[in-house]
Chain A
Amino acid sequence: MLAVSFGSYPRIGDTPGEQTLRRALHAFDRDEIAAEELEAVHRDVVKTVLREQAEAGLDVVTDGQVTWNDPLSHVARGLDGVEINGLLRWFDNNFYYRQPVLTGPVRWAKPILLEELEFASAAADRPLKAVLPGPLTFAAMSREGAGPVSRAGALAVAEALNRELGSWAEVELAYVQVEEPSFGSDTDRGFLRELYAALLRDVTLPVIVAPCFRDVSRAWPALFDLPVAGFHLDLRSHAANASALDGRGLPEDAAVSLGVLDARNTRRESPAEVAREVERLRTGLASKGPLLLTTSCGLEFLPRSAARQKLRILAEIRDLVAGTPAAVGAR
């Protein structure tokens, strides 16, 4: 059992020393500092975020997605044939993303996240998880011209993201989390399989597919069709989601990522209570693969002090739950 960081982490905190990136971005927007200086600040903050995760006692960390403006546009703007448009609400959060618009043939031209991942991998003292937006969500939250993204457009996105994953072959990664908050009972199962066949063609990285925010209590088993190493379940946004674990068909060796702490509320959960819940859920699990304890979604919806507290609670829960540690990154 591992305590694993989900993905995003607050880029700034409330002390002046924790706001260097906010100030640097303002200065960069006013042409007062060069791109290299901004990048240096980004890297400093990544190191801080890695250190805070390590100090909290996590087993697998992320770069906190410190350079990302939102869950889509950071990757979308690196692709050919995609422009970035105005702000829209990101699911049921009071948080807004810039909408990608497919304007021509979507093509992967060069690595988008590779340098950032190499930096984080070198700076981290423990296994690293990478994050990528999933093709289903990318397509659902984008436009193609003035209308919704076509199936062909979505497949082109999946193929482009496949090339991006291919570029990470040399980076040491414990997991790659493909985020699919759009996934739910209205998802076309056949098309999802098609998208993931394109996304994961010749990819050997251990991929966790991660829906969040929505009620997936019935839909979750549809993910078992996909050629991935594991599945995330957000246990906090909808109480019914826990019942997804009762269903059959979970592949025997699958990693199960359980979002046991609410990453969208500052309320401090009781480690003992959650540990008992994890014990109970674990005994019913069909999979003998790794159990990954994490938050319901990324932590950027919280103030940094609350995010730090959630990570410490996560590590505490792991310590409370008896069990033998699983091998990191095992498929």
Chain B
Amino acid sequence: MLFPTTTVGSFPKPDWLKAARARHARGALDDRELDRLERKATEEWIRIQEEVGIDILVDGEMYRGDMAAFFADRLDGFEASGLVRSYGNRYYKKPIAKREVRFREPMTVDWWRFAQGLTDRPVKGILTGPYTMMDWSFNEAYPDRRSLTLALARALRHEVDALVDAGCRYVQIDEPAVSTRADELETVIEAMAICTDGLPAGVKTISHVCYGDFAAIYPDLLRIPVHQLDLELTNSELDMLALFARHPFTKEIAFGVVDVHSHRVETVEDVKRRVRAALEVIPPERMTLDPDCGLKTRTQDETVAKLRVIVQAARELREELAAQPA
């Protein structure tokens, strides 16, 4: 089927779950009750994705806070730091790699099993990639950025294997920090190879990357050893298509067709126009449609409306292509 639809990973948490997480953080709610509520929210998102007609689902990350800290908290070797500013009056606890980083036990597999158990459609397993984990942590344990990245890759490979052993067939390893330093792309590639080399046939590997100066790392970006790159194209006004015209995009692409930073819900025609522009440089059989990035900062209504637009646009595009003479 042409133009399968998916999403990048996160969905907005319902208000009742945000309140529960705050109570849990204060010690006013126990682990079991929080877990029950997180499962309830996960199930709701699975139902919504099925009802909207998304093809490849995600668990929505109801149980994750910060995408680096979630994994750092569950790996050996990390400690939480004090608060660090991300912008304006916003702060986060940036993890510190204090000692040798090691895999302890599966971090996302139970959640993947739970989500997959709720649906017949495939559910992606989603991890924060080793380079991004390194870039978003302080490093007190390793001599340089590369060695911490590779240690993280070796630890995360255990998680990838555990997901695959559990039956996961779509493994997404996100590297939003990939464009931070163009001169470190080789490290990204080396680390991703540790995570993906030799996986069984039938396992599709994906990496979501976003933001930044892609002109500086393209076409080398294509050497990241995954089957599919998931790219934020809408927010950058499709600038990347010009790069693909000069040097062909040789992988599968998950093409971000709606802006996750805008409250405005795009029209079906907006999305189809973006896809038609991309079809000039990428063949349809290599294209999956999804939003630019995780949707956790949008409201539930905005999220669902954006997903419906993507699904409808995919349907219409399939029909249009089928109607065209070969």
Q: Which residue of A lies closest to B141 (CB)?
A: A267
Q: Give the number of chain A interface residues (Cβ < 8 Å).
A: 31
Q: A22-B91, A97-B87 are in contact. Are A266 and B96 (CB under 8 A)?
A: yes
Partner of A303, one of B83, B86, B211: B83
B85 close to A95 (CB less than 8 A): yes
Partner of A96, one of B87, B91, B140: B87
The winner among B81, B89, B177 for most chain A CB atoms within 10 A is B89
B140 close to A69 (CB less than 8 A): no
B83 close to A300 (CB less than 8 A): no
A94 close to B82 (CB less than 8 A): no
A22 close to B84 (CB less than 8 A): no
Q: A26-B89, A94-B177 are in contact. Are A266 and B140 (CB under 8 A)?
A: yes
A86 to B84, CA, bound (A): 20
**Cβ-based interface call for A201 (8 A):** no
A97 to B90, CA, bound (A): 12
B81 close to A306 (CB less than 8 A): yes
Q: Which residue of A lies closest to B90 (CB)?
A: A96
A89 close to B91 (CB less than 8 A): no
- Chain B residues 79-102 with CB under 8 Å of chain A are 81-89, 91, 94, 96
**Cβ-based interface call for B77 (8 A):** no
**Cβ-based interface call for B139 (8 A):** yes
Nearest CB of chain B from residue A266's CB, rounded to whole Å = 4
Q: Which residue of B lies closest to A213 (CB)?
A: B181
Chain A residues with CB under 8 A of B87 = 69-70, 87, 95-98
A319 to B177, CA, bound (A): 39
- Chain B residues 48-90 with CB under 8 Å of chain A are 81-89
Chain A residues with CB under 8 A of B83 = 10, 12-14, 303-304
Chain B residues with CB under 8 A of A300 = 85
**Cβ-based interface call for B106 (8 A):** no
B81 close to A96 (CB less than 8 A): no
- Chain B residues 144-194 with CB under 8 Å of chain A are 177, 180-181
**Cβ-based interface call for A301 (8 A):** yes
- Chain A residues 221-249 with CB under 8 Å of chain B are none
B136 close to A94 (CB less than 8 A): yes
**Cβ-based interface call for B212 (8 A):** yes
Q: Which residue of B lies closest to A89 (CB)?
A: B211
Partner of A89, one of B85, B139, B140, B212: B212
The winner among A25, A87, A300 for most chain B CB atoms within 10 A is A87
Q: Which residue of B lies closest to A91 (CB)?
A: B180
Nearest CB of chain B from residue A224's CB, rounded to whole Å = 26
A-side interface mostly:
loop
Q: A12-B91, A265-B140 are in contact. Are A95 and B86 (CB under 8 A)?
A: yes
Q: Which residue of B lies closest to A29 (CB)?
A: B89
A13 to B93, CA, bound (A): 11
Nearest CB of chain A from residue B298's CB, rounded to whole Å = 15
A300 to B91, CA, bound (A): 11
A266 close to B181 (CB less than 8 A): no
Q: A92-B181, A266-B96 are in contact. Are A86 and B82 (CB under 8 A)?
A: no
A98 to B88, CA, bound (A): 9
Chain B residues with CB under 8 A of A13 = 82-83
B84 close to A303 (CB less than 8 A): yes
A267 to B144, CA, bound (A): 12
B138 close to A266 (CB less than 8 A): yes
A265 close to B81 (CB less than 8 A): no
Chain B residues with CB under 8 A of A302 = 84
Chain B residues with CB under 8 A of A11 = 85
Nearest CB of chain A from residue B128's CB, rounded to whole Å = 12
A267 close to B180 (CB less than 8 A): no
A305 to B83, CA, bound (A): 10
B89 close to A10 (CB less than 8 A): no
Q: Which residue of A lies closest to B211 (CB)?
A: A89
A159 to B211, CA, bound (A): 32
- Chain A residues 1-48 with CB under 8 Å of chain B are 10-14, 22, 25-26, 29
A267 close to B139 (CB less than 8 A): yes
**Cβ-based interface call for B261 (8 A):** yes
Q: Indicate with 1 or 0, residue by residue over A261-305, a CB within 8 angstroms of chain B CB atoms.
A: 000011110000000000000000000000000000000111111
A303 close to B136 (CB less than 8 A): no
Chain A residues with CB under 8 A of B91 = 12, 22
A94 to B177, CA, bound (A): 8
Chain B residues with CB under 8 A of A12 = 83, 85, 91
**Cβ-based interface call for B135 (8 A):** yes
Chain B residues with CB under 8 A of A94 = 86, 94, 135-136, 177
A51 to B180, CA, bound (A): 35
Nearest CB of chain B from residue A94's CB, rounded to whole Å = 5
Chain A residues with CB under 8 A of B86 = 94-96
List of 7 A-B pairs having minimum Cβ-Cβ separation, nearest first:
A303-B82, A96-B87, A14-B82, A266-B138, A267-B140, A25-B89, A92-B180
The residues of A with any CB-CB pair to B shorter than 8 Å are: 10-14, 22, 25-26, 29, 69-70, 86-87, 89, 92, 94-98, 265-268, 300-306
12 contacts between A and B (CB under 8 A): A10-B84, A12-B85, A12-B91, A22-B89, A69-B87, A70-B87, A89-B211, A94-B86, A265-B140, A301-B84, A301-B85, A304-B83
